[in-house]
Amino acid sequence: MTIDYDVVIIGGSLAGYYAALAATQLRATVALVEPKVDYGFTHHHALTEIGKLAQKLNDAASFGIHATKTDISEDCHISMAWQEAMLYAQCVAANLKEQHSPAILAALGVDVIVGSGQFQSSPQLAFAVNNRLLHARTYLLASGSRPEIPEIEGLQSTGYLTLSNIWQSLQGETLPKNWVIIGGIPQSIEIAQTLARFGCSVTLVVKHPYALSHIDHEIAILLQAQLEVEGVRVLTDKQVTQVRLIEAKKWIQAGDKAIETDEILVATGQQPNIESLNLAMVGVKWHRRSLVVNDKLQTTNHRIYACGDVIGGYDFANIANYEAKIALNNALFFPRLRVNYRSIPWAMFSVPMVAQVGLTEAQAKRLFSRDEVLVLRQYFKTVAAAQLRDETTGMCKLIVLHNGEILGASILGAEAGELINLIALAMSQKIKVKDLANLSPVYPSFSEILEQAAREWSKQKLNSDIAWQEFLEGFFHFRRNWNL
């Protein structure tokens, strides 16, 4: 059998694109099948950024800055702002789409094959697409995911939007005024806040006790409070049981509450795009929401690897790219690298931003003795840069051991995405918290909060060590008397 490629990458996700380029840089022969990248995330982030700007303009009055008044109504202003925001998002998406075009990939050495295909096992393992058999030593599944739709009575007949089609569906001149968003995942919270900043009435329905169930509880409470301050109605511990259309209006039954709305967004989770790949025939197993992989990102067929949200978890591009790097190296060389998410950060583009790496306080206290874990808190209101930018809402939590090892961090606040990168780097390089305390950040900058939080470690250690306190008191007493 002739091997056509070192690796065939299946799926047009950003993780697939990243892996294809990395393979060509390693001088491997690579094919990328079905390069149809979804740029909905670009619209999402672009509109989030414009939503921030809209909020700052609204807040400008608190600084004595007032927009010139005209006869244009507030609704008209919102409509114009929405149209301009969508135009901006479309331009950004078009630019990225051009960068990821098949022509660019082909010029860089990727054999781009547009089309849907499936695996076949006989006579040899191969991937069939466009009446062609692709033979490779290994294969990488990066086909991404699509929204999983919960079974709710009346939902299908009433109609709804999902994360994959919301921005494409809102191309009109006006924005629906009333929204119900079902689901507590990062993207649903980002969209809820963005819509609220464009003047919409938004209700977020979450079945868990917090808006986000997997983040630090203190951070989750602060985030929920911020959403409510901005006008997002958050209903927690509520299960949506029914959706109905009554006199051309959509109604949702969430727990004991009936809510009338113009539009429904379902954002409860994702499921992998794998149905058409004939995986069972080649021995690849999966659960409902993800492929089964080991810590080397091999599926149950050792020649087929997988990365990105096709293997489950939240849809974060940096995590998918990390997995793509591990899977690709194992596929091209020897399967020796193992995934370790301990020092891989993630961030949610809410305002203020939420970012996390490693263990939360609750997770650390389950794994270690409570007396062994120190929680270092610092608030953004103590940071000069936050005061200058009037972005004082938020906190930074470092989770460390008594010996100074950093176990994790949770941050809610301005520039949290940049700050969490520094903590992740420190964790990956096994830098201890005392070294962060020696950081001398530019003043004023948000990095000061890391130095302040790290100094709290020395303070807590000193307060818990009575013998060391007594020694220091005795030492300085001796020095004062000796100098006399």
Residue 417, annotated ligand binder? no
For tokens 């098949």, the residue is 102
Q: Is 313 annotated as a binding residue?
A: no
Q: How far apart are CA 301 and CA 281, in angstroms?
A: 10
Cross-strand partners of 251: 244, 260
Locate 325 and state its tokens.
Answer: 């790097």
The encoded tokens of residue 36 equal 């149809």
221 labeled binding residue:
no
Buried b (16+ CB within 10 A) or exposed e, 18-39: bbbbbbbeeebbbbbbbbebeb
Asked if 433 and 454 touch (Cβ cutoff 8 Å), the reply is: yes
> What residue has token string 């830098």?
431
User: Which residues, in sequence order, are bridge partners of residue 404?
Assistant: none
Binning the chain into helix, strand and coil, the percentages to the nearest 5 are 40, 25, 35
In single-letter form, the type of residue at position 427 comes to M
Of the candidates 177, 188, 184, the one whose C-alpha atom is nearest the C-alpha of residue 48 is: 188
Backbone angles phi, psi at 398, to 5 degrees: -105, 135
The total of other beta-carbon atoms located within 10 Å of residue 335's CB is: 17
Given a contact cutoff of 8 angstroms between Cβ atoms, the answer to whether 165 and 191 are in contact is: no
Q: Tell me how far the alpha carbon of residue 115 is from its chain's centroid.
A: 29
Q: Check if the beta carbon of residue 183 is closer than 8 Å to that of residue 217.
A: no
Determine if residue 352 is labeled as part of a ligand binding site.
no
Cis omega before residue 123 (within 30°)? yes
The Cα 90–Cα 308 span in angstroms is 25
Q: Name beta bridge partners: 244.
A: 251
Give the C-alpha separation, 25 to 463, whole Å: 53
4 labelled ligand-binding = no
**Residue 188 assigned as binding residue:** yes
Q: How many CB atoms lie within 10 A of CB 452?
A: 20
Closest CA to 207 of 228, 237, 234: 237
- 51 marked as binding residue: no
Sequence-ordered alpha helix ranges (H) in 262-410:
317-332, 361-367, 384-388
Q: What is the DSSP string of 356-419?
A: EEE--HHHHHHHS-GGGEEEEEEEGGG-HHHHHTT----EEEEEEETT--EEEEEEEETTHHHH
Distance CA 405, CA 436 (A): 11
Look up residue 298 and give its DSSP letter. B
Annotated binding site for NAD(+): 183-190, 269
Annotated binding site: 117, 183-190, 269, 309
Annotated binding site for FAD: 117, 309
